[in-house]
Chains A and B, each alone.
Chain A
Amino acid sequence: MMEAQKYVWEGAIPLQIHLHESEITSLPPPSPALILAPRIGYLPLLLPLIKPYFSSTLPPGQDTIWFDYKGLPLKWYIPTGVLFDLLCAQPERPWNLTVHFRGYPSNLLIPCEGEESVKWSFINSLKEADYIINGNCKNVMHMSQSDQVELWRSVMDGNLEKYMRASSKLKLGTVTTDEADMVGQVKAGKIPVRLYVWSVNEDFEDLEDAPEVDNWDQISYINRPLEIHKEGKHFTLHDALKNLLPEVFEGKSLINDEPCIEEGEDAQKVSSEDVGSSTGAEEGKEIFNQPVESCCNDAEIKLVRIQGIEPKMEIPFSWVVNSLKNPEHFLHICVCVKVPNVNAA
């Protein structure tokens, strides 16, 4: 588990960042910036790395950094890795983003006052997770100033060891009892989950042919903790998704005729193989035959992606949470669902 978590923390998205043409005042135009963005990080935190590439060409004015991908303004409070998983069905490497230093779209995006805003967005999420797990936010609220700074620093620096030290005081723990991980035993309780459901109308065989997200309204964001009522049951990722999206999974059985979706060469180091094998090895490979939810009448799951991988549905959910959650203790799950066109019927 620790190993998978390490992969997540080291995971990075290679970005190729272009300055928006309206902000280029020099000739020749500046070359794009190539930057590795940590998966668990947030885009505005890249400012010190990006600014030097473009500072000489910017028009006069005050900087308020924001990004877009193919014209879609990116929400800075969603971790960079989640944005990538959500908006790049077919992972694009490097990921071509456009940066803006002017003209912040404040009607669409929450204002960002630099690192301080990002930090508090993180802490408020952490508080929310604390509340979900413990029924109050006392652990986070009563954190000393220095502990808070240390925790935030560890996330900024991607330092897992320091993070483990700083966050152990929060008693947010893991979702299972010690070695129960492997068998998927869970304790009754609540698990902080952020679910992003991208609905598409047209079908596609290949991820390459997936349509683009050109509007945030195509993505339903479900911020609802997962409640586990029964203790001790073998609880898989499939069970979790069924709980979160009951209509999609209703009356449907697992079928195995969908091809397994593989990640490309991995700049992120996290591949299905890496993460999957750490639990799967001793139980034999067949358990990892990819079952994709299929359905006879309406919605169909096309893709479930967490931290850049498409985990097998039989993986114990506790393992998924403990290994793949973000540092603010939320598990971010990206799901693509194909909905038949209602007009066609």
Chain B
Amino acid sequence: MVVCLYIAKTSSQVGKIMSCFSSSWDGTLSPNDFSVAARVFTERWERNNSSSPSWFWVNSPKGPPFLASSQHVDGYLSLENMCVLVSAEDNNEEVSCTVEEEAGFSEIEGAADSATLVQSNHHEAHYYDFHIVYSASYRVPVLYFRAYCSDGRPLLLNEIEKDLPACSSKVLLETKWTFITQEEHPFLNRPWYKLHPCGTREWMKLLCLGDEVAAKNGLAIELYLVSWFSVVGQVVGLKTPLEMVKKSV
């Protein structure tokens, strides 16, 4: 609960700009809506964050065909190779840098880029992969992430903590087990870090109170992931440009 309130507070500004849902709405998203919102989110991200890696929709890996509709949502959103430069002297200072990346060449190019990024002795490059996965239990999106050094070694939570914005590390200290924990990635079967979703419904509802007109136009659902990420992204230090939340494009 502490976490949810914290998030709601930091996002109050966004909340004022983004008021898009009717009051009867419970703050959740259906599996179908998730796919719709994911498309809008990737498009807007692409348009407004040209310097950042893009979000891609990843279809759920293999899996027997008879489970197709059991999974409800057949994939997730992914943004990989986000590079964070960490100052070796002062761990609080961090700079998001751009990884120039062209679709299809990310593997090769990414590796080449990392070589140039770690030139400096004072900065260490950390790489973050983010996935947005739909939770059928909570009916909301959930952020999963993992981080590693330029040599591929995965970062431990206490190292990630140093990369996080100060307020997040504080919450992490206070609520070790209910804020960010390692859990199994629902599609990849491997341990990833996960931002707990139990309060998402409530703060999304608060965030989007009012404006029934927009809700009727279906705009609300379309922008769900944009507004959700404007909050959740902050927790991990990813900013959402204001242009992204504007109703009309």
Other A-B pairs, 20, CB within 8 Å; known A108-B190, A299-B66: A75-B184, A110-B182, A110-B191, A124-B196, A128-B137, A128-B198, A131-B137, A136-B202, A197-B64, A220-B63, A220-B67, A221-B186, A222-B71, A223-B186, A224-B71, A224-B136, A244-B70, A247-B65, A247-B67, A339-B66
Q: How far is the CB of A125 from chain B (nearest CB, A)?
A: 10
User: Is A106 interfacial (CB-CB < 8 Å)?
Assistant: yes
A216-B189 contact given A136-B202, A192-B137, CB 8 Å threshold: yes
Does A220 contact B184, Cβ atoms closer than 8 Å?
no
1/0 contact string of A243-259 vs chain B (CB within 8 Å) = 01111100000000000
1/0 contact string of A101-136 vs chain B (CB within 8 Å) = 000001111110000100010011001100110011
Q: Which residues of B contact A106 (CB under 8 A)?
A: 154, 191
Does B66 contact A247, Cβ atoms closer than 8 Å?
yes
User: Is B249 interfacial (CB-CB < 8 Å)?
Assistant: no
Q: Which residues of B contact A222 (CB under 8 A)?
A: 67, 70-71
Does B64 contact A225, Cβ atoms closer than 8 Å?
no
How many chain B residues touch the partner (CB < 8 A)?
31
Category for how many chain A residues contact B: 35 or more
Q: Which residues of B contact A137 (CB under 8 A)?
A: 198-199
Q: How far is the CB of B248 from chain A (nearest CB, A)?
A: 33
Q: How far is the CB of B59 from chain A (nearest CB, A)?
A: 15
Q: Which residues in chain B, 82-126, are within 8 Å of chain A measured between CB atoms?
A: none
1/0 contact string of A2-13 vs chain B (CB within 8 Å) = 000000000000
Q: Which residue of chain A has the shortest Cβ distance to B201 in the bound complex? A: A136
Q: Which residues of A contact B182 (CB under 8 A)?
A: 110-111
Q: Which residues in chain A, 133-152, are within 8 Å of chain B measured between CB atoms?
A: 135-137, 141
Main secondary structure, interface of A, reads mixed
1/0 contact string of B45-87 vs chain A (CB within 8 Å) = 0000000000000000001111111111000000000000000
Bound together, the chains give a CA A220 to CA B186 distance in angstroms of 9
Q: What are some 8 contacts across the A-B interface (CB < 8 A)?
A: A77-B184, A106-B191, A120-B181, A123-B177, A197-B64, A220-B64, A246-B70, A337-B66
Which of these, B67, B69, B181, B184, contacts A124 with CB under 8 Å? B181
User: Is B178 interfacial (CB-CB < 8 Å)?
Assistant: yes
User: Is B26 interfacial (CB-CB < 8 Å)?
Assistant: yes
Q: Which residue of chain B has the shortest Cβ distance to A125 in the bound complex? A: B137
Does A299 contact B191, Cβ atoms closer than 8 Å?
no
Q: Which residue of chain B has the shortest Cβ distance to A140 in the bound complex? A: B198
Bound together, the chains give a CA A244 to CA B66 distance in angstroms of 11
A247-B26 contact given A111-B191, A128-B137, A224-B137, CB 8 Å threshold: no
Q: Which residue of chain A has the shortest Cβ distance to B28 in the bound complex? A: A135
Q: Which residues of B contact A217 (CB under 8 A)?
A: 189
User: Is B159 interfacial (CB-CB < 8 Å)?
Assistant: no
A128-B138 contact given A135-B26, A137-B198, A199-B64, CB 8 Å threshold: yes
User: Is A298 interfacial (CB-CB < 8 Å)?
Assistant: yes
Does B190 contact A224, Cβ atoms closer than 8 Å?
no
Q: Which residues of A contact B67 (CB under 8 A)?
A: 197, 220, 222, 245, 247
Q: Which residues of B contact A224 (CB under 8 A)?
A: 70-72, 136-137
Q: How far is the CB of B46 from chain A (nearest CB, A)?
A: 30
Bound together, the chains give a CA A299 to CA B64 distance in angstroms of 9
Which of these, A108, A116, A247, contacts B69 with CB under 8 Å? A247
Q: Which residues of B contact A123 (CB under 8 A)?
A: 177
Q: Which residues in chain B, 213-235, are within 8 Å of chain A measured between CB atoms?
A: none
Q: Which residues of A contact B138 (CB under 8 A)?
A: 128, 131
User: Is B1 interfacial (CB-CB < 8 Å)?
Assistant: yes
Does A225 contact B136, Cβ atoms closer than 8 Å?
yes
Q: Which residues in chain A, 198-239, are within 8 Å of chain B measured between CB atoms?
A: 199, 216-217, 220-225
Q: Which residues of B contact A195 (CB under 8 A)?
A: 70
Does B64 contact A337, Cβ atoms closer than 8 Å?
yes
A124-B177 contact given A131-B137, A141-B1, A223-B186, CB 8 Å threshold: yes
User: Is B183 interfacial (CB-CB < 8 Å)?
Assistant: yes
1/0 contact string of B167-206 vs chain A (CB within 8 Å) = 0000000000110011110100111000010110110000
The listed residue with most B CB atoms (<10 A of its CB), out of A75, A135, A192, is A135
Does B69 contact A246, Cβ atoms closer than 8 Å?
yes
Which of these, B63, B183, B190, B198, contacts A107 with CB under 8 Å? B190
Q: Which residues of B contact A131 (CB under 8 A)?
A: 137-138, 198
Q: Which residues of A contact B186 (CB under 8 A)?
A: 221, 223
Q: How far is the CB of B210 from chain A (nearest CB, A)?
A: 21
Q: Which residues of A contact B72 (CB under 8 A)?
A: 224
